[in-house]
């Protein structure tokens, strides 16, 4: 068990890398259940250049209607800078705080970052999923690691994302003619199900609805502090 490390925070980069390596073995890369999720939560974090404060919004959506059932927020001082590959150590504390303010019980969380499509197979979505013990999907707007063929131009077209001889996710065209999304399992889910659930939560925009609404919500929340 590496659960102790799950709740201990790294003092330096080297410790952070080791924690990711150790915890990655705890990640389940298959579907925990075949039951369709009803409550899907989108999460997003916002900040301001030149300031260390972070704001977070979590938005619970009901499937398949894609309607908001609840929103929750939190803001704290960042305890960690942004370092590619170590994003979760920066964003998880404020996300945990926001999740504590949510009364709905999520069946699935969609994160704005990578899952196992990560140098040590332990991106933000994996870290958050392990911490919350909830199925999670990483749905990022750009690539961190891996290689894939260019997906077709139509919505729904996708290609497997490979990294170090493993299929770690897929590059998914969520909207015709738009830049694709980088989808990977976070925890307790597999690649195929991650792809299909991102599509099931898409409402015709590039971003899946939970993520899109969380982004709008966190921007609104952050701006409410400067007035």
Partner DNA sequence: GCGACAG
Partner DNA sequence: ATCTTGTCGC
Which residues are near DNA by CB under 7 A?
44-49, 82, 84-88, 112-114, 118, 123-125, 138, 140-144, 176-177, 215, 219, 222
Shortest Cβ 85–DNA spacing (Å): 5
**Residue 96 or residue 143: which is nearer to DNA going by CB?**
143
- Dump the DSSP string for 130-176: HHHTS-EEEEESS-SS-B-PPPPSSTT-EEEEEETTEEEEEEE--ST
Contact by Cβ (8 Å): 171, 180? yes
Shortest Cβ 115–DNA spacing (Å): 8
* Number of residues that make up the chain: 227
**Residue 45 or residue 130: which is nearer to DNA going by CB?**
45
**Residue 62 or residue 182: which is nearer to DNA going by CB?**
182
Shortest Cβ 65–DNA spacing (Å): 26
Candidates 30, 19, 163; CA nearest to 92 is 19
**Residue 39 or residue 216: which is nearer to DNA going by CB?**
216
44 annotated as ligand-binding: yes
107 annotated as ligand-binding: no
**Residue 41 or residue 125: which is nearer to DNA going by CB?**
125
* Three-state SS letters, 51-105: CCEEEEEEEEEECCCCEEEEEEEEEEECCCCCCCCCHHHHHHHHHHHHHHCCCCC
**Residue 4 or residue 84: which is nearer to DNA going by CB?**
84
Q: Give Cα separations from 2 to 20, 89, 125, 136 (angstroms).
A: 10, 16, 18, 19
Q: At what angle do helices 124-132 and 13-23 cross, to 10 degrees?
A: 60
Shortest Cβ 177–DNA spacing (Å): 4
Shortest Cβ 41–DNA spacing (Å): 16
Shortest Cβ 47–DNA spacing (Å): 5
Binding-site residue numbers are 44, 112
Binding-site residue numbers for Mg(2+) are 44, 112
């Amino acid at each position: 068990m590496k659960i102790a490390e799950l709740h201990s925070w790294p003092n330096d980069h080297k410790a952070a890398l080791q924690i990711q390596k150790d915890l990655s073995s705890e990640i389940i890369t298959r579907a925990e259940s075949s039951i369709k999720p009803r409550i899907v939560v989108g999460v997003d974090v916002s900040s301001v250049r030149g300031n260390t404060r972070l704001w977070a919004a979590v938005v619970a959506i009901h499937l398949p209607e894609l309607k908001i059932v609840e929103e929750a927020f939190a803001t704290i001082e960042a305890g960690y800078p942004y370092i590619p590959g170590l994003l979760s150590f920066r964003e998880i504390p404020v996300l945990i705080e926001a999740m504590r303010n949510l009364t709905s019980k999520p069946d699935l969380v969609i994160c704005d970052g990578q899952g196992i499509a990560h140098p040590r197979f332990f991106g933000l979505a994996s870290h958050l999923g392990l911490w919350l013990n909830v199925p999670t999907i990483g749905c990022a707007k750009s690539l961190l690691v891996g290689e894939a063929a260019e997906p077709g131009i139509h919505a729904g077209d996708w290609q497997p994302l490979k990294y170090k001889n493993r299929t770690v996710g897929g590059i998914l065209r969520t909207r015709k003619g738009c830049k694709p999304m980088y989808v990977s399992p976070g925890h307790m889910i597999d690649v195929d199900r991650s792809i299909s659930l991102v599509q099931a939560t898409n409402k015709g925009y590039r971003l899946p609805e939970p993520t899109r609404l969380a982004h709008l919500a966190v921007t609104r929340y952050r701006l409410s502090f400067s007035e």
